[in-house]
Structure formats: structure tokens, C-alpha cells
Amino acid sequence: MSKITAALETAVATVKANMPPDGQSQTRRQRAGVDQAFLRITKLIAPRIRHFIRQYGLTAHWDDAEQVCAIAIHRAIQAYDPEKAQFTTFVNWQIRGELQSLRFRVMTDQRPSARKVEATTVSLDAIAGGEDGEGLSVLASIADEDALERTEAGASEYLARSAMKALTETYVEHMRHSGLERIRRRAQPPKPTRAERANGAMAVRRTGRPVLDHAEVTELEDRLAHNRQIVEGRLFELAPLDFGDDDSVLARERIRQVAKRAAKTMGDLAGMDPRFALMAEYREAMLSAH
């Protein structure tokens, strides 16, 4: 390991050591430690940054290239895992990726379609005039104030749908296991009664698992598919609920009963499975509130 590689590893370790745990604010000393270590990293990597900027032909956009390289270093520090690679190797790929992206944006100006509409790539630090006459950076003018809220809402919806799908699968597997056990018990040879044993009848020795009745297994799978559709359509609204040709009051009542039993079963399963601990806590809170 070279001196520069060792110095980079030490500086990156300093940055990570000064990052507070989730939910805690960073102290002034920690911020100073991070700033000093980050400055040390940029100085150590500066020669290769200059080399890559020239290699990608971005000398005319030097300021923007240095800015994206700083972003690449920051991302590399956040995602770096010392057990997988050395930091020098990891940060090289991050810098190359950011410079390649910048080069692509710059080169789009040379396309015929871009020249036709006189498109021009400008620096993120370029200053434009605001409505009040004051200077406004291009980055500030294109900022989307609702982006964070939409991103959080989308992530929340994705996690919720993933949890509902996982809980549905757990419920179906639980019902399949229970149903198969019932079928196996029915397939077991009956034990002789006391009178039969008194007459000399011998109990049939049970060896291995009994042969399952194919018709019963098929009926079980059809019932599970029907229950899955009810859970996904009525409880979670993951898919449209299809009543088929029978849309009577009786059919709707059957669906309501199936959904009610499924909700209770899934509530019990969520309480036993650590993957659904948050769901179980919410269920307990709702029950206590009522």
C-alpha cells in the first residue's frame, strides 16, 4: 500500500468516525474534523482529478468538472466499504462516472437537434437575473421544492406495498401448510377400535408420509388463490377485486367473511414475525384505542 493510499484510508476513516449516528446532530468538533479530513482527501486526489479532466476532454468546463469530482468524492466516502476494495480504486470509478455524465451533457450541445434549437450547456454556478433583479444561480432556478416530499411519499408507498405483498405471501403459505396437514391427517389409516383390538385386529403401521389426494390438493390451491384475490383486492387494494359472474349479496358476504378471517390470521402472523413488527405495533395501538 502506497503512502497516498494509506493517507486516503486514514482520512476516510476520520470522516466516518466523525459522522454521528442516525437521529443525532453533528457537533462542531465533528464538523471541523470532517471538513479537515475532506480537504485532506481532495488534496491527495487532486492530481488524478486533473488527469481525468484532461482525459475526458473537459478542460473547457474545468470548474464544473471539479465540482462533479467533489460530489463523486463525497458519494464515495458515504458508500465506501473497506472490506470490498481500497478507497483509491472505489473513488476512481465514482470520479469517472461523474465526469462521463458531465461529458455526455456537454456533448449533447453538438448534436444536430441541439444545434437546431441553439441549446447550450451552462455552468451550474452561472448567475442569471431573477425577477427582482438580483442574481440567481441556474441551480436555484431549477430546484424543485416538492421533490423531497414526492420522493418520501413514493418511498413510503413502495415500502408499504412491499410489506403488504410479503404479508400476503406469508398468509398464503401459512394457510397452505395448515390445509396440507389436514389432508395428511385424513389420509392416515384409521387406528383399530378397542373392540377390533380385542378381536385380534392389529394396528396398521404408519411409515412415511401418506399419499395426498390430488383432488383435495387441487381444491386447496383453488381456495388459496381465491383467498389471495380477496386479500389483495379487499384488504390491501393491490389488485381489482373480481366477483366473477356471482355478484349476489350472499357472494359479497362470503368475501367479507373470508377477508375478516384473513385479517385476523395476518394480524397474528405479523405479531410472530419480526419482519412485520411495525405492523403489529400499529395493530396493537389501534386495538387499544378502541
Q: How far apart are CA 276 and CA 289, in angstroms?
A: 20
Taking 60 as the threshold, does the pLDDT of residue 204 lie above it? no
pLDDT tens per residue, range 229-238: 888 888 777 7
Helices (H) and strands (E) in the chain, counts: 11, 2
The three cell numbers locating residue 72: 463523486
Taking 70 as the threshold, does the pLDDT of residue 124 lie above it? no
Which value, to the nearest 10 degrees, does the dihedral of the CA atoms of residues 208, 213, 214, 217 take?
-90
For 171, phi and psi rounded to 5 degrees? -65, -45
Taking 60 as the threshold, does the pLDDT of residue 116 lie above it? yes
pLDDT higher for 111 or 174? 174
- Residue 290: per-residue pLDDT: 55
- Residue 187: per-residue pLDDT: 76
Give the contacts of 140 (CB within 8 A, at least 6 positions apart).
none
pTM for the whole structure = 0.42
The three cell numbers locating residue 16: 466516518
- Residue 69: per-residue pLDDT: 92
pLDDT tens per residue, range 205-216: 454 556 677 888
Taking 70 as the threshold, does the pLDDT of residue 184 lie above it? yes
Q: Collapse the DSSP code of 137 into the 3-class scheme (helix H, G, I; strand E, B; otherwise coil) and give the result.
A: strand
- Residue 114: per-residue pLDDT: 57
- Residue 133: per-residue pLDDT: 46
Q: How far apart are CA 124 and CA 97, in angstroms?
A: 18
- What confidence category does residue 50 fall into, taking pLDDT thresholds of 50, 70 and 90? very high
DSSP structure class, residue 108: G
pLDDT tens per residue, range 249-260: 787 888 888 888
- Residue 126: per-residue pLDDT: 54
Most confident of 135-144, 253-262, 281-290: 253-262
Give the contacts of 99 (CB within 8 A, at least 6 positions apart).
52, 53, 56, 58, 65, 68, 69, 72
For residues 98 and 71, the answer to whether their CB atoms sit within 8 Å is yes
Taking 60 as the threshold, does the pLDDT of residue 203 lie above it? no
pLDDT higher for 159 or 73? 73
